[in-house]
Chain A
């Protein structure tokens, strides 16, 4: 992957490294469990796993403060876990149960948490981009210094509304960070088969928006870029674009036979660039943690995920009356 090597790595403490390791591992184990529950028929419909891309949300959340907002597409489980939403509530939404964040009425693609400033979970490709600009507009209007992380994929980057949002975000200096999670494939269509643009973040130049490419398999590089973007937005300099080069190991959704790429390509990425292994190496080599420490973390995470899975099976289906509620406020 042609990625400009990150130069500005922040000084990072052992505690921070451990917390990134934990957060990324939680996402991976959660998603593996979700895949399993899907296989058992407990999760239905579409289910888009985040495995491989964990460093993107964990790195950017490390750059956020309380009050900042986030919004994303349908590949949203990782974003929810990274911003502190309860794994039980997320998993129970996947199984369509009363204990889910949307009481079972939203599903994998449509979850929200006002408390954690997570504004969805949107199923229409690209729609979250103007919505994210609008969230940033609300903060600018109120005069606070919050920023909105607006995530979308390389596929959504070809939607016209993205550029309508870019134009107004720059025109009105909205404090929004456009995060392009470039995982190389829009469903089964590679970036190269969808555009002749040499890079996606550079399209912002047409609107005068600053941006950069980031190594999305390196959580420290993502965090450093996130901090730069956040400072730019908080200083009222307008929006910022981060094109984060990442990779999804699983199919686009559960029913993806993945004939558009080779098994070797996936295995090579897993073996050489895995974001979690990277932090694990830093921890062990830096003598910040022993193998036993890491095994203990693995066990803790497994317990959290198993508890979420149990909850998602035991939580009842929503009451039938729920069909008719929440249509109007």
Chain B
């Protein structure tokens, strides 16, 4: 049967090209792999090869023709023993059919649903308690709470293991994994060489293979060397596999500024990771949240970025005395109820938010303080419900100002509660500079309680 040779698409963006030169003539026998023609694409001059064996029956487009559309028949190929007269009436219908079918592949983006869901009419915050009322409490540091969370989950499931630099014999660079090697042994508490890109990839591969790794970064600053595996390998694979292959993994470690360690060791990555569909991003403030959220993270079937803070490690909080409890993702915690202004923060930013709220009481300003706890998924209902009540919003975080978490919150509030706002939202962030080393400059670069108080005065016009 005679087949038409069509003008090929030779690059992802080619729609038409120039048939520069024929390298065969009518009557030539060609076999698969022979060059038929030279075609100029939008990128380069390309050699166009035969796919099938046969005899060139007819050349339909002359050499030198410009603007030949992709899929236009350019020649007719005859099968063995076929006469040239068969070429006179090439079977046009199937070719046109093929072109028809080709068309929808390119132009299907039109009907995509809108990126943002319609605004919820009256968002209601989930204010259910995190544990039953009357539960006994004990005082624990964030450090101890994190260790207990890992130990409990490792006792419950053999697939859970910890890997990272100095997590085993050294007992953790910040002592978060203290005692785990003794209890679980070297099979499950694994010291890695200093090789973030490599062990992050091995962790993701192990998760593909059915394990539930906890990968500790000595700090999230070092995770920059591993960010390709976090984003491209861990976060995107479920989608790229059409839902076949998930990646249950926790990347955890201290994030943000500690004290006097300079620009390369003092960055908050909350906004960076929160940008990525496929990741969940957690940033606890209290010890109880650190424990309940880390246990939840280890059980979650998705990659979770768990951002801790070195300064908070040693702080003590009340933690419920329960055999097992978790804190769900996407549920903010209202630390203080208030009526005049909403302060939204997370992680160490909560320190300044809560101190400011306390100081503002003396000025007669009642601040509602919301701890997001998880940045993605974000409990926007809690924020909106609060803003609709207070009509004023200040966000507090340590990260850089451009494209900050606060910027995103502001956009959500504008789109869903614009008419409720009585003042422009203020996003308090770290200053737009690399972290300086000098003590006085470092202080200046970080967000402070004074700045939160000042911002609240501004939005309440007091």
B107: shortest Cβ distance to chain A, in Å? 11
Q: Type the 1/0 row for A154-192, where 1 means its CB is closer than 8 Å to any CB of B.
A: 000000110011011001000000000000000000000
* A132 contact set on B, CB distance < 8 A: 205
* Residue contact A112 to B241, C-beta cutoff 8 Å: yes
Q: Which of B120-128, B193-201, B345-353 contacts A (4 or more CB under 8 A)?
A: B193-201
**How far apart are the CA atoms of A104 and B241 in the complex, in Å?**
9
Q: A313: nearest residue on chain B (CB-CB)?
A: B101
Q: A39-B8, A40-B71 are in contact. Are A326 and B239 (CB under 8 A)?
A: yes
B171 interface residue, CB < 8 Å from A? no
Minimum CB–CB distance from B124 to chain A (whole Å) comes to 23
The answer for the CA separation of A103 and B404 in the assembled complex, in Å, is: 34
Cβ-defined contact, B198 with A323, below 8 A: no
Chain B residues with Cβ below 8 Å from A317 are 104-105, 108
Interface residues of A in 9-56 (CB under 8 A from B): 32-33, 35-36, 38-42, 44-46
Could you mark each residue 47-78 of chain A with 1 if its beta carbon is under 8 Å from any beta carbon of chain B, else 0?
Answer: 00000000000000000000001010000000
Q: Given A39-B8, A141-B211, A327-B239: A161 and B205 within 8 A (CB)? A: no
A130: interface (CB < 8 Å): yes
Cβ contact of A327, chosen from B44, B47, B278, cutoff 8 A? B278
Number of interface residues of A (CB under 8 A): 74
Residue B134 is within 8 A (CB to CB) of chain A in the complex: no
* Contact in complex: B198, A141 (CB < 8 Å): no
In the complex, are the beta carbons of A137 and B202 less than 8 A apart?
yes
> What separation, in Å, do the CA atoms of A131 and B44 have in the docked complex?
35
Q: Which of B87-111 contact A (CB under 8 A)?
A: 98-99, 101-102, 104-106, 108, 111
- The one of B9, B45, B46, B113 in contact with A323, judged by C-beta atoms closer than 8 angstroms, is B113
Nearest A residue (CB) for B35: A263
Q: A249-B33, A255-B10 are in contact. Are A127 and B228 (CB under 8 A)?
A: yes
In the complex, the answer to whether B9 meets A137 with C-beta atoms within 8 Å is: no
Q: Is B411 an interface residue (CB 8 A)?
A: no
Partner of B204, one of A131, A160, A168, A257: A131
| Whole-angstrom CA separation of A313 from B104 in the bound complex | 11
Q: Tell me if B206 and A328 are in contact (CB < 8 A).
A: no
- Of A41, A255, A326, A329, which one neighbours B106 at CB under 8 angstroms? A41
A114→B245 contact, CB < 8 A = yes
Question: Are B198 and A42 closer than 8 Å at their CB atoms?
Answer: no
Interface positions of A from 104 to 143, Cβ below 8 Å from B = 104-106, 110-114, 119-124, 127, 129-139, 141-142
Q: Does B129 contact A (CB under 8 A)?
A: no
Q: Does B233 contact A (CB under 8 A)?
A: yes
Contact B195 A114 (CB under 8 A): no
Q: How far is the CB of B44 from chain A (nearest CB, A)?
A: 4
Cβ-based interface call for A96 (8 A): yes
CA distance A54 to B111 in the complex (A): 41
> Across the interface, do A40 and B6 meet the contact criterion of CB distance under 8 Å?
yes
Report Cα–Cα, A119/B98, bound state, in Å: 33
B277 contact set on A, CB distance < 8 A: 327
Whether B32 pairs with A119 at a CB distance below 8 angstroms is no
Shortest CB-to-CB span from B322 to chain A, Å, is 26
Tell me, rounded to whole Å, the shortest Cβ–Cβ distance linking A84 to chain B. Answer: 16
The answer to the question of B380 belonging to the interface, with a C-beta cut-off of 8 Å to chain A, is no
Known A41-B71, A257-B45; judge A270-B33 contact (CB<8 A).
yes
When the two chains form the complex, which single residue of B45, B47, B211, B232 contacts A138, counting CB atoms closer than 8 Å? B211
Decide yes or no whether B267 CB sits under 8 A from chain A: no
B67 to chain A: which residues have CB within 8 Å?
Answer: none
Contact digits for B205-243, partner A, Cβ 8 Å, 1 yes 0 no: 111111100000000000000001100110001111111
Interface residues of B in 1-52 (CB under 8 A from A): 6, 8-12, 14, 32-33, 35, 41, 43-47, 51
A95 CB-CB contact with B under 8 Å: yes
For B208, give its contact among A101, A135, A328 (CB under 8 Å).
Answer: A135
Contact between B43 and A164, CB atoms less than 8 A apart: no
Bound Cα distance from A42 to B101, whole angstroms: 8
How does the 8 Å CB contact mask read for B274-316 relative to A, with 1 for contact and 0 for none?
0001101000000000000000000001100000000000000
Contact with B along A288-329 (1 / 0, CB 8 A): 000000000000000000000000010001001001111111
> In whole angstroms, what is the CA distance A127 to B205 when docked?
10
Give the nearest-CB partner of A37 in chain B: B102
Answer whether residue B246 sits at the interface, using C-beta atoms and an 8 A cutoff. Answer: yes
Q: Which of A121, A124, A139, A249 contacts B232 (CB 8 A)?
A: A124
Q: Are A139 and B240 in contact (CB under 8 A)?
A: no
The answer to whether A41 and B232 touch across the interface, beta carbons within 8 angstroms, is no
Knowing A69-B209, A106-B241, the reply to whether A41 touches B44 (Cβ < 8 A) is no
Q: A254 within 8 Å of B by Cβ?
A: yes
A113 touches B44 (CB 8 A): no
| Closest residue on chain B to residue A119 by CB atoms | B208
Contact of B201 among A111, A120, A130 (CB under 8 A): A130
Least Cβ–Cβ distance between A271 and chain B, in angstroms: 10
Set of chain B residues within 8 Å of A171, measured between Cβ atoms: 193
19 A–B contacts, CB within 8 A, in A order:
A38-B9, A46-B12, A71-B205, A127-B201, A130-B198, A133-B198, A134-B209, A137-B209, A141-B206, A161-B198, A165-B201, A167-B198, A171-B193, A255-B10, A255-B41, A259-B44, A320-B111, A328-B278, A329-B243
Residues of A within 8 A of B (CB): 32-33, 35-36, 38-42, 44-46, 69, 71, 95-96, 100-106, 110-114, 119-124, 127, 129-139, 141-142, 160-161, 164-165, 167-168, 171, 249, 254-259, 263, 270, 313, 317, 320, 323-329
Besides A41-B106, A130-B197, A317-B105, 8 other A-B contacts (C-beta < 8 A): A71-B205, A130-B199, A168-B199, A254-B9, A313-B101, A323-B113, A326-B243, A329-B302
4 interchain residue pairs of minimum CB distance: A134-B205, A130-B201, A164-B198, A138-B209
List B residues at the A interface (Cβ < 8 Å): 6, 8-12, 14, 32-33, 35, 41, 43-47, 51, 70-71, 98-99, 101-102, 104-106, 108, 111-113, 161, 187, 192-193, 195, 197-211, 228-229, 232-233, 237-246, 248, 277-278, 280, 301-302
